[in-house]
Amino acid sequence: MAAVTRMTAVQAAEPAFEQPVLSVQGLKKRIRDKWIIKGVSFDIGAGEVFGFLGPNGAGKTTTIRMLVGLIKPTEGTIHVCGMDLTKRTNEALSQIGCIVENPELYGYLTGWENLEHFARMLPDVGPDRIREVTAIVGMDARIHDKVRTYSLGMRQRLGIAQALLGRPRLLILDEPTNGLDPQGIKEMREFIRQLAAGGLSVFVSSHLLSEIQLMCDRVAIISHGAVIAVGGVADLIRQETERVVWHVSPRQEAVQLLPARFPKAVRVLEEEGMSKQELAELAPDAWQGIATEMSAERIPDVTQALVQEGIRIFSVTIQNPTLEDLFLRVTEGKRIE
């Protein structure tokens, strides 16, 4: 039965119309008198890597705990493959594999014994499947050692092996790259993409923007317990206007010329890292950069205008907008690493 479910999951990865693997609507949580989560909604499709981005303390882990049934939502619904998590808890949970916060397994048991332990809590998971997931996460060499002796990276991998045991359709990982070295982070990223390519949906929470941008298809941004933006990573970034940095001389003339000639299309930004005083004191022919917010399509027009006025151009650089820009805009500058 499980094998059939798996196949449909892989097939369903292609078409655009399908039931979401995870659908969260209007999720709220009150603990005593305080609303910890004030409204979280999003859908995750099959084979999608979904990022859950927010600063520490924004409510990521609380939301995850609700997704896996550790905490009961005060309001809102969670559907896993169409099954209501609060009503058909066990059926819904059998579609989910998860690591909540740290991968805490029984330190006094070996990796293999830990997997056996959790395999006994699932239907139709035998030694073959344990061997399979051990191979998937590349733990074969040390699987019979006590977990107490494992490094954090190995615990993380064992945790994922455990999560994959029941052939879930959704994998939930809470800060999976936390505490890993750069090599480990890269491996984890590739591993997650690889799982998604096989049709598995992956929900990844992180407070690291670069992380989410590199590995996720779609992202929800959470701040102070509420989701403030959801969308494709590429779409969200596209919404941000591009930045073009000009290195020209004489600089002052260009700064005056640009808004005059292109009042709507080009916006000159404050110079980064320099005060107005310093800018004014610059030599007129110094070719300091000018940061502008404009569409890259207008570069030829602007170039022509500058050249006509006798301004010399040394370089034109297009700066790709990042999630960080978006994040800073939507959270209005709330700090993030």
Choices 117-125, 195-203, 282-290, 298-306; region in contact with another protein by CB under 8 A: 117-125
Binds another protein by CB under 8 A, chosen from 8, 30, 91, 330? 91
Q: Omega of the bond prior to 250 within 30 degrees of 0, cis?
A: yes
Which residues make beta-bridge pairs with 51?
204, 219
Task: Give the integer Cα–Cα distance in Å for 259 and 266.
Answer: 6
Binding of residue 107 to another protein (CB under 8 A): yes
| Nearer CB in complex with another protein: 10/122 | 122
> Residue 92 CB, nearest distance to another protein (Å)?
8
Residue 60, amino acid = K
Closest CA to 134 of 105, 157, 167, 100: 157
- Kind of pairing between the strands at 243-249 and 226-232: unpaired
The SS3 assignment for 40 reads strand
Binds another protein by CB under 8 A, chosen from 77, 102, 241, 252? 102
- Mask: binding to another protein, 29-68, rule CB under 8 A, as x and -? --x---------------------------------x--x
Binds another protein by CB under 8 A, chosen from 3, 17, 108, 276? 108
| Nearer CB in complex with another protein: 144/186 | 144
Choices 93-101, 189-197, 240-248, 293-301; region in contact with another protein by CB under 8 A: 93-101
Q: What are the CA-CA distances from residue 40 to residues 24, 60, 150 (Å)? A: 7, 10, 36
| Nearer CB in complex with another protein: 97/199 | 97
Counted residue by residue, the chain has a size of 337
Choices 88-96, 127-135, 181-189, 240-248; region in contact with another protein by CB under 8 A: 88-96
Binding of residue 166 to another protein (CB under 8 A): yes
Binding of residue 128 to another protein (CB under 8 A): no
CA-based end-to-end distance of the chain: 44
Binding of residue 94 to another protein (CB under 8 A): yes
The SS3 assignment for 329 reads helix
Task: Give the integer Cα–Cα distance in Å for 226 and 26.
Answer: 10
Task: Give the integer Cα–Cα distance in Å for 309 and 58.
Answer: 51
Residues forming contacts to another protein in the complex (CB under 8 A) are 1, 31, 65, 68-72, 89-91, 93-94, 96, 98, 100-102, 104-109, 113, 117-118, 120-124, 162, 166
